[in-house]
Every structure is written in structure tokens, then in C-alpha cells.
């Protein structure tokens, strides 16, 4: 006989009901205690109320206890009242019928002798937010605004604002704004005054669009009597209220300079306040009042520097970051003011990464001739930091300082030392910076190239770093003995290079090297052009075609286009315009400074976009017989390729075997002749024949580069052999889970055709188009010019899933693509297929 199963010793949690029986038991116990006045009743009610609130918090429906909870609220115990109000407020919002049951006891509590209960009841009554109950709010609010207790008046003022958002007409008809105005100017309690100011600002701002009187009242808030009234009581206000008053004062326009100094003298001691928000609010007032006084404005920077730096070193990392963000804005406007305080921006070992990164930016900004050596020495220490992102940022900071023309000699030596460190990420960042340095300081090429020439391209894996190395190989190939052979080895591994940026740089570098050392590079150039023409990435393909046509036309012209005499770069483009920086400064002491972007860029829907799951995707069916409507590969890029050819060239390359197509892409057979030492100046090429028939274009350049291009059947790069499941299904929950778990396999930028951009006026057209290519859309959103889509696809006969985030900007005709995949080895193949489908969008 089998032994009985072991019984669990665990007892159910008192806050976890085992089922409907537990709720029924609570209901019965509450009913028994409802009318009881026995000693200890309130303690028993507390225990039951705690269970009810706990169950409600974890999502269990206890709305059936509503009547019993209301009956048990007849008590003077404030704790019980608070829990009852919490319960009532939670269920009244979703069930207006239950809310009606609470009106009587809440109105009764609004007249209780205890001011705390009166205030709590009034707050709960206004928090019901049920439109058909607004008539029950007017009376209690009117009484609350006239209550003898300041706490009740404080709650009533905010209650008026809640009433306005529920029913603006009811609030205005009851003349509540005028009552708030009277309280604001006459009440003795500063918290009531501050609440009145906050409520009136919001009400009058919303009403000013339709009411001239409200617009006048809103403007009057910024008048001298109001501003001086608040300033004279500034020390009585709480920290929050002081910030509110400061925001008002910052918008005030003084009549003369003496008034500006009076206000600043009055607020001088606020800079010493322990609260960082008050210090920032006061700083904003000082800066805005003195904008028209250049000398005084500079003195203000000197005055606010010490209080802000003190706030950075005290408080939490979050507060330090907020203060540092504002300091960073000031440093960018007046770096010389903070140049002597650069040590305050040194990173501490225990600081979070986000604080360290901001400090590195500030060290870069304050660097000048007097402190560059100390700052660069400190930054070089960070390069060995165990925190790799911070180490990268420190190396970039050193490069930025070098580009500011401060003590370049010592900095270049430091960067070259980075190249010799045996850390991949250090070498990668240093290569990018050396490239920029050489663009600005070509005189350092000999020293830099001597070190860069010792770096193996096989040890550089990051795309930006590899692109920088390739750029130097092409630009200074005459000084680097192995440059043609390194480039040739890179061309041989063309198919293994997944980054389009690297392939584009490689094409250009081989072209430059060919003009400087033709005998050693001609084979590599031929292979690079052939690989580029066969590349499925649109930009790579177009550049290779452009170079090929350019060489066909005239080699001398090609050299003047690809490798012209260059002037040193004097100034690198700033990522932010001066208008944007001024806009951020105008929004000082707000999230705009922390985000480093104006508020409209993260509040307006036009800029941040919306994301909505597509409800109609399930209704979009794929017709198996719609293959004729899909544009053939030959037609897809025909218009774009025609743009690269002149009218005469189109006629010349037309062939009877091309089915009337104006362009035939050359096909490469992979053969290459031996090197030739024929000088470039002796080469002459012609793309036109002596007869009406189309000749083989550029025979001389084809022979020189080892290309065997035949003008035959028009072919375009074909997608890799990857087949997708046309009936793939993925629910949104699984998509989100996979998106969080999987790493990004590829992140690329694609160009869209003008016809595709024009067709994006109706985003659903793109969804149907991609679905016809077995790529499904699970979510989409946004509005012109920014659209955002989430796609997914499944490999045929396999469970492997591909996830895609596609952000399309119709203004730039660019799409940013992020791909995640279960099988990352096939990510590039799927990326190619996705681009192929996207490039066909909008074509007839």
C-alpha cells in the first residue's frame, strides 16, 4: 500500500485569500463589526481593513465588500478613515455606481469636528473624479475654502483644481478662481498661498485660450505687485513653494537695473539654501534677470559657481547628476569661468557611470592652455578603468581636447601610446581619434603612420575603428609600405565584412591607393569594384558603380574627384545648433537640461511618436497568386541606376538582348591578369563606339583592372538563399520577451526610394507590402516625418525568429534598422532580404 502524500506545513498567507470563501469571511466579519461599539472594536477593524487593502493591492477583486467598508467607516479612528478612503477611491473610479454610495458618508465627514478627518474626506471626495457627481463637490469645496483650519483650506484649493479638470464649467460658474485669488493675497498660511498660486496658474493658462479675462489675470501674475508680494514672503514658504515663486519671478521683466539688483539682493541668501532645487531656481532667476547686462551676467556666473559645486559634492548621485547637468550647460556657455575649478570634475571611484560620463564631458569643455596637461593626465588614468564604457569616453575626451588646439604635441604622444596598449577597445577608440587628428593636423602624419603601420587589421574588429584604419591606409598609402597588400587582403575577405560603412571606406581607400601606387593596387581595385557591384547594400553598390563609370570616362577626372588636394579641417561640426542650446538655456531648471534637448522634443507627439499595436494585421491576408504584382529585381533599381548615367550613355549601353532596359549591370567572372606598370597618365578610355552598335564599355580599364565585364543580360544583386515562412505567427507578449532577451545582431541605415517615401503617407501600405514578402508587422506608430515599425519573420521549416525595429524618417529618406535573431549567423542574410523588400516599396 502506497504511503499517503506528505502534507505541506506551509499555511496560507493572511493577506492571500484562498478563494471566494476568504472574501465571504471578510464580508461576514466586517458586517458583525459594523455597528459594534465594544472595546477593542477599532483594533479588530484595523486588522480586517489591512487584509482588505492587501488583497486589493495584489489585484484581487474585493469590490463586493464596498457596503460593509462604508458601514465600518463610522469611527473617529483616523487610521481606519485613511484605509477606508483608499479603498473607496480605488473602486469609485472604475465603478461610478459604487461611488454614489460614498457621497453621504464623505459629505458627513467633511463636517467632522476633527480638521484632519475633514481634510481627508474632502480630498477623497474630490478624488472620485466622476463627472455626474460634480454637483456634490461644490458645497463641500466652498465650505473647505472658508474653513478655519489651514490644512482643510490647503486640501480645498487643490480640490478646486481637480474639479476644474472634471468639469471646467462648474468650477468657473461657482466663481472658485476668484475665491482662490482672494485666498492667495490674504491667507496667512503660506502653503495655502502656494497652492492657490499653482492652481490659478494652471486654470488661467488653460482658460486663456478662450477667455480674455483669464488671459489678463494670467498676465497680472507677472506684474510688479504680485511678484513683490511673493518675494516679501519668500522665507516663509516651503522649498516647493519657493521654487514655484522663483519660476514666477524668472518671467518678470523689471523696469530698470536698480530693480534687478533689489531682487537679486533679496534672493542672495537663497543661494546658500540646503535644498538643491531652491539653489537651481534662484540661479535661473539671476541668469535670466541679467541677460541684457553682460558684465553683471559674468559676475553672476562667478557668484553661482560655488553654491552649485557644493551641491554636486553633497547629496545623492541622482541629485549630483541633476546639478551637474545644469553646470554642464553653464560650462558650455562660459568655459573660462570654470577652468580653474576643473578638479571638481574629476571622477570618484564610487560614482555611477552616468555621473562619470557627464564629468568627462565637462573636463573636455573646461580644458584650456593652462590646465590641459593636468586634465589629459587624469583622463589617461581612466583609460585603464575596469568600466569599459568610461575608458572609451576618457579616450574620446582626450581626442576632443586635442582638436581644440591645446598642447597638441603632448596629446598626440598620449594617443599613440594608446595604440600600443594591448586592449582592443582602447586601440579601436584611439584609431578613430588619430584619424580625426590627421584630418586637422596633417603635419603629424609621419609620427602617427609609423605607429599605425604596426597595427594588424585582423586585430581591429569594431566597424568604426576598422573604417578609420582603412581611411589611413588609403590616404597615406604612399608612406605605408604594406598599404596595397593590406587593402588587398581586406578585399579578399569582402564577403566576411558585415559592416556597410567598412565596405564603403574600403572602396574609396583602394581607389586612392590605386592613384598613388597603381601597379601594386590594380588587382585589388578590380576585385573591390567587382565585389562592390555585386554587393546588395544599395550605397555600396552605387558607389562601386560610380567609381567604375568614373574610371571609364577619364582616369584623370576620377583622380581629381576621389583624391583631390585636401585642406586641413579647421572646425568639426557641432552636434547641437546654437538655437537648440539657447532654447535649452531658456528652459533652465527643467528636464530639458537633464535630457540635453528642448522640451518639445520629448513632449510633442510629432517628435517622440506613439507606438500602437496594429489591430488589423490579422485581417491582412497574403494572396498566393499575387506574385505578378511584386516588382522584379531588375525593375527595382532601374530608376536609381539611370540617375548615374547621362542620356548618351543610356543610349550607348542599350542592347537588343537587354529587353529594352536602359541599363545593364556588368557581370564579373573573377579572372585577373598580372600587374602592369603602365602609367595612369598614358591611359585613355572611351565609353562610345564608332558604330551605332553598343560596344563593350571601357575595355582598357577592364583589362587594366582584371575585369571581364560583358554587356549581356541585365542582372541585379540577388538576395541570399534565405526562405521565410509566409504564415509566421508571433504574439505580442512573446515578441516583447524576445526583444528584451536577444542582443542586437545588426544595426544599419538604409535609404528609401522617393516613390517609397511618397507611398508612406499611408503606413498600412508598407505593412501589406512587407507582409507580401513574408515579413509581418506586430506594432506600428508615429506620424510624419517619423514612423516606427516592429516587424518579425520566421525562417521556413525552422523555429528561428527574426525581430526588426524600423524607424523611418521621411524628411531624410533614411531608415534606421535594428535586427535581433535567434540564429545570429543568418542575420546578415535576413538583413539583405529585408532591405530588398524595403527597396521595392512604392515601386509600380
- Which pLDDT score is estimated for 555? 87
pLDDT at 632 over 60: no
pLDDT at 211 over 60: yes
pLDDT in tens, 24-73: 888 888 888 877 777 778 788 888 888 888 888 888 888 888 778 878 87
- Which pLDDT score is estimated for 699? 55
CA distances in angstroms from 268 to 223, 286, 425, 555, listed in the order given:
21, 9, 48, 72
pLDDT at 615 over 70: no
Topology given in CATH for the domain delimited by 724-840: TATA-Binding Protein (3.30.310)
DSSP string, 445-512: HHHHHHHHTTS-GGG--SHHHHHHHHHHHHHTTTT-TTHHHHHHHHHHTGGG---HHHHHHHHHHHHH
pLDDT in tens, 298-309: 999 999 999 999
DSSP string, 227-273: HHHHHHTGGGS-HHHHHHHHHHHHT---SSHHHHHHHHHHHGGGGG-
Average pLDDT, the chain: 79
> What average pLDDT does range 139-150 have in this prediction?
92
Long-range contacts of 792-795 (CB under 8 A, 24+ apart): 792/728, 792/730, 792/735, 793/724, 793/725, 793/728, 793/830, 793/834, 794/724, 794/725, 794/728, 794/730, 795/722, 795/723, 795/724, 795/725, 795/823, 795/826
Who wins on pLDDT, 624 or 30? Answer: 30
DSSP string, 538-606: HHHHHHHHHHHHHHHH-HHHHHHHHS---PPP--PPPSS-HHHHHHHHHT-SSHHHHHTS-THHHHSHH
- Which pLDDT score is estimated for 703? 65
Please give the grid coordinates belonging to residue 655. Answer: 542592347
| Residue 685 contacts residue 698 (beta carbons within 8 Å) | yes
> What average pLDDT does range 14-25 have in this prediction?
62
pLDDT at 100 over 80: no
- Given pLDDT bands bounded at 50, 70 and 90, which one contains residue 685? very low
Topology given in CATH for the domain delimited by 337-446: 1.25.10
pLDDT in tens, 536-573: 888 999 999 999 999 988 888 988 898 888 777 777 76
- Which pLDDT score is estimated for 648? 34
> What average pLDDT does range 820-827 have in this prediction?
85
pLDDT at 653 over 90: no
pLDDT at 676 over 70: no
Instruction: Say which range, 503-512, 594-603, 626-635, has the weakest mean pLDDT.
Output: 626-635
- Which pLDDT score is estimated for 639? 35
Domain boundaries, the chain: 19-267, 337-446, 456-565, 724-840
Instruction: Say which range, 119-128, 380-389, 677-686, 775-784, has the weakest mean pLDDT.
Output: 677-686
What whole-number distance in Å separates Cα of residue 197 and Cα of residue 244?
Answer: 8
Most confident by average pLDDT, 157-161, 561-565, 583-587: 157-161
> What average pLDDT does range 774-790 have in this prediction?
85
pLDDT in tens, 108-120: 888 888 899 899 9
- Which pLDDT score is estimated for 582? 86
- Which pLDDT score is estimated for 5? 46
Name the region of 12 (left: φ>0; alpha: ψ -120 to 50; beta: rest): beta
- Which pLDDT score is estimated for 788? 87
Torsion of CA 478, 479, 481, 484, to 10 degrees: -40
> What average pLDDT does range 354-372 have in this prediction?
90
pLDDT at 626 over 80: no
pLDDT at 576 over 70: no
> What average pLDDT does range 472-501 have in this prediction?
88
> What average pLDDT does range 370-380 have in this prediction?
88
Most confident by average pLDDT, 248-262, 658-672, 702-716: 248-262
- Which pLDDT score is estimated for 406? 61
- Which pLDDT score is estimated for 245? 94
CA distances in angstroms from 607 to 587, 595, 719, 780, 784, listed in the order given:
18, 14, 35, 15, 9
> What average pLDDT does range 86-104 have in this prediction?
77
Who wins on pLDDT, 423 or 95? Answer: 423
pLDDT at 316 over 70: yes
> What average pLDDT does range 209-215 have in this prediction?
88
Instruction: Say which range, 144-158, 244-258, 260-274, 658-672, has the weakest mean pLDDT.
Output: 658-672
Instruction: Say which range, 10-24, 62-76, 371-385, 777-791, has the weakest mean pLDDT.
Output: 10-24
- Given pLDDT bands bounded at 50, 70 and 90, which one contains residue 404? confident
Helices (H), 732-779: 732-741, 754-759, 763-771
pLDDT at 671 over 80: no
- Which pLDDT score is estimated for 743? 87
pLDDT at 219 over 60: yes
| pTM of the full structure | 0.66
Helix (H) / strand (E) containing 57: helix 41-57
pLDDT at 262 over 70: yes
Most confident by average pLDDT, 13-17, 230-234, 708-712, 830-834: 230-234
pLDDT in tens, 423-438: 888 888 888 888 888 8
pLDDT at 14 over 60: no
- Given pLDDT bands bounded at 50, 70 and 90, which one contains residue 728? confident
- Which pLDDT score is estimated for 668? 41
Who wins on pLDDT, 752 or 322? Answer: 322
Instruction: Check if CATH label 1.10.1740.10 holds for domain 19-267.
Output: no
- Given pLDDT bands bounded at 50, 70 and 90, which one contains residue 682? very low
- Which pLDDT score is estimated for 26? 85
pLDDT at 688 over 50: no
- Which pLDDT score is estimated for 286? 94
- Which pLDDT score is estimated for 681? 41
Instruction: Say which range, 172-176, 299-303, 674-678, 817-821, has the weakest mean pLDDT.
Output: 674-678
Who wins on pLDDT, 694 or 47? Answer: 47
- Which pLDDT score is estimated for 759? 79
Proportion of the chain above pLDDT 70, given as a percent = 83
pLDDT at 716 over 60: no
Q: Same CATH fold, 724-840 and 19-267?
A: no
Instruction: Report the residue count for the chain.
Output: 844
pLDDT at 790 over 50: yes
- Which pLDDT score is estimated for 744? 87
What whole-number distance in Å separates Cα of residue 375 and Cα of residue 410?
Answer: 12
- Which pLDDT score is estimated for 841? 85
Amino acid at each position: 500500500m502506497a504511503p499517503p502524500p506528505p502534507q505541506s506545513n506551509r499555511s496560507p498567507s493572511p493577506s492571500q485569500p484562498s478563494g471566494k470563501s476568504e472574501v465571504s469571511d471578510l464580508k461576514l466579519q466586517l458586517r458583525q463589526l459594523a455597528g459594534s461599539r465594544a472595546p477593542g472594536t477599532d483594533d479588530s477593524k484595523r486588522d480586517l481593513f489591512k487584509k482588505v487593502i492587501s488583497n486589493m493591492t495584489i489585484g484581487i477583486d474585493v469590490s463586493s465588500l464596498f457596503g460593509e467598508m462604508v458601514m465600518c467607516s463610522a469611527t473617529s479612528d483616523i487610521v481606519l478613515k485613511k484605509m477606508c478612503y483608499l479603498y473607496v477611491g480605488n473602486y469609485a473610479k472604475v465603478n461610478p455606481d459604487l461611488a454614489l454610495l460614498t457621497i453621504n458618508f464623505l459629505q458627513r465627514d467633511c463636517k467632522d469636528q476633527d480638521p484632519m478627518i475633514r481634510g481627508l474626506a474632502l480630498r477623497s471626495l474630490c478624488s472620485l473624479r466622476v463627472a455626474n457627481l460634480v454637483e456634490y463637490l461644490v458645497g463641500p469645496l466652498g465650505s473647505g475654502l472658508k474653513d478655519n483650519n489651514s490644512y482643510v483650506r490647503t486640501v480645498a484649493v487643490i480640490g478646486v483644481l481637480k474639479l476644474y479638470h472634471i468639469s471646467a464649467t462648474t468650477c468657473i460658474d461657482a466663481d472658485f478662481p476668484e475665491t482662490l485669488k482672494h485666498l492667495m493675497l490674504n491667507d496667512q498660511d503660506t502653503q495655502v498661498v502656494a497652492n492657490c498660486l499653482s492652481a490659478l496658474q494652471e486654470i488661467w493658462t488653460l482658460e486663456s485660450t478662450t477667455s480674455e479675462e483669464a488671459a489678463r489675470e494670467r498676465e497680472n501674475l507677472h506684474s510688479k505687485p504680485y511678484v513683490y508680494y511673493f518675494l516679501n514672503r519668500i522665507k516663509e514658504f516651503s522649498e516647493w513653494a519657493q521654487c514655484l515663486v522663483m519660476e514666477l519671478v524668472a518671467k518678470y521683466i523689471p523696469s530698470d537695473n536698480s530693480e534687478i539688483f533689489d531682487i537679486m539682493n533679496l534672493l542672495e541668501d537663497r543661494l546658500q539654501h540646503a535644498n538643491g532645487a531652491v539653489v537651481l531656481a534662484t540661479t535661473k532667476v539671476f541668469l535670466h534677470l541679467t541677460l541684457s547686462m553682460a558684465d553683471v551676467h559674468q559676475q553672476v556666473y562667478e557668484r553661482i559657481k560655488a553654491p552649485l559645486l557644493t551641491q554636486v559634492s553633497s547629496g545623492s548621485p541622482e541629485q549630483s547628476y541633476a546639478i551637474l547637468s545644469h553646470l554642464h550647460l553653464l560650462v558650455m556657455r562660459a568655459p573660462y569661468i570654470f577652468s580653474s575649478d576643473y578638479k571638481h570634475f574629476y571622477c570618484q571611484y564610487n560614482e555611477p557611470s552616468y555621473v562619470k560620463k557627464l564629468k568627462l564631458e565637462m573636463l573636455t569643455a573646461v580644458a584650456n592652455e593652462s590646465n590641459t596637461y593636468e586634465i589629459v593626465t587624469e583622463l589617461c588614468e581612466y583609460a585603464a578603468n575596469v568600466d569599459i564604457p568610461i575608458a572609451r569616453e576618457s579616450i574620446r575626451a582626450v581626442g576632443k581636447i586635442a582638436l581644440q588646439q591645446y598642447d597638441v604635441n603632448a596629446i598626440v604622444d598620449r594617443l599613440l601610446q594608446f595604440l600600443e596598449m594591448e586592449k582592443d577597445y582602447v586601440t579601436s577608440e584611439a584609431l578613430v581619434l588619430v584619424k580625426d587628428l590627421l584630418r586637422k593636423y596633417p603635419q603629424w602624419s609621419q609620427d602617427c603612420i609609423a605607429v599605425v603601420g604596426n597595427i594588424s587589421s585582423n586585430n581591429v574588429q569594431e566597424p568604426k575603428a576598422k573604417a578609420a584604419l582603412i581611411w589611413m591606409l588609403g590616404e597615406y598609402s604612399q608612406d605605408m609600405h604594406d598599404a596595397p597588400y593590406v587593402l588587398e587582403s581586406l578585399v579578399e575577405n569582402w564577403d566576411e565584412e558585415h559592416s556597410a560603412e567598412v565596405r564603403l571606406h574600403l572602396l574609396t581607400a583602394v581607389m586612392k591607393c590605386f592613384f598613388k601606387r597603381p601597379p601594386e593596387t590594380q588587382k585589388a581595385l578590380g576585385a573591390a569594384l567587382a565585389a562592390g557591384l555585386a554587393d546588395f547594400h544599395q550605397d555600396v553598390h552605387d558607389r562601386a558603380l560610380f567609381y567604375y563609370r568614373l574610371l571609364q570616362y577619364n582616369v584623370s577626372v576620377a583622380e581629381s574627384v576621389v583624391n583631390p588636394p585636401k585642406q586641413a579641417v579647421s572646425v568639426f561640426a557641432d552636434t547641437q545648433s546654437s538655437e537648440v542650446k539657447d532654447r535649452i538655456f531658456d528652459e533652465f531648471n527643467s528636464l530639458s537640461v537633464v535630457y540635453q534637448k528642448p522640451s518639445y522634443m520629448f513632449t510633442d507627439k510629432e517628435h517622440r511618436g506613439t507606438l500602437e499595436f496594429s489591430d488589423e494585421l490579422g485581417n491582412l491576408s497574403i494572396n498566393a497568386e499575387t506574385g505578378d504584382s511584386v516588382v522584379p529585381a531588375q525593375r527595382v533599381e532601374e530608376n536609381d541606376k539611370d540617375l548615374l548615367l547621362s542620356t548618351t550613355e543610356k543610349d550607348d549601353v542599350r542592347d537588343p538582348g537587354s529587353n529594352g532596359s536602359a541599363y545593364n549591370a556588368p557581370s564579373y567572372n573573377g579572372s585577373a591578369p598580372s600587374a602592369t606598370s603602365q602609367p595612369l597618365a598614358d591611359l585613355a578610355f572611351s565609353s562610345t563606339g564608332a558604330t551605332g552598335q553598343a560596344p563593350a564599355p571601357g575595355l582598357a580599364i577592364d583589362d587594366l583592372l582584371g575585369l571581364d565585364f560583358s554587356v549581356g543580360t541585365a542582372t541585379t544583386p540577388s538576395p541570399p538563399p534565405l526562405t521565410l515562412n509566409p504564415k509566421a505567427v508571433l504574439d505580442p507578449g512573446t515578441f516583447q520577451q524576445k526583444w528584451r532577451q536577444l542582443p542586437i545582431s545588426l544595426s544599419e541605415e538604409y535609404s528609401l526610394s522617393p516613390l517609397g517615401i511618397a507611398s508612406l503617407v499611408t503606413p498600412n501600405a508598407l505593412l501589406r507590402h512587407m507582409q507580401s514578402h513574408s515579413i509581418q508587422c506586430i506594432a506600428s506608430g508615429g506620424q510624419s516625418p517619423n514612423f516606427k515599425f516592429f516587424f518579425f519573420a520566421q525562417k521556413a521549416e525552422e523555429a528561428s525568429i527574426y525581430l526588426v525595429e524600423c524607424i523611418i524618417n521621411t524628411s531624410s529618406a533614411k531608415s534606421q534598422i535594428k535586427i535581433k535573431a535567434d540564429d545570429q549567423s543568418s542575420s546578415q542574410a535576413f538583413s539583405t532580404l529585408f532591405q530588398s523588400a524595403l527597396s521595392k516599396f512604392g515601386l509600380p
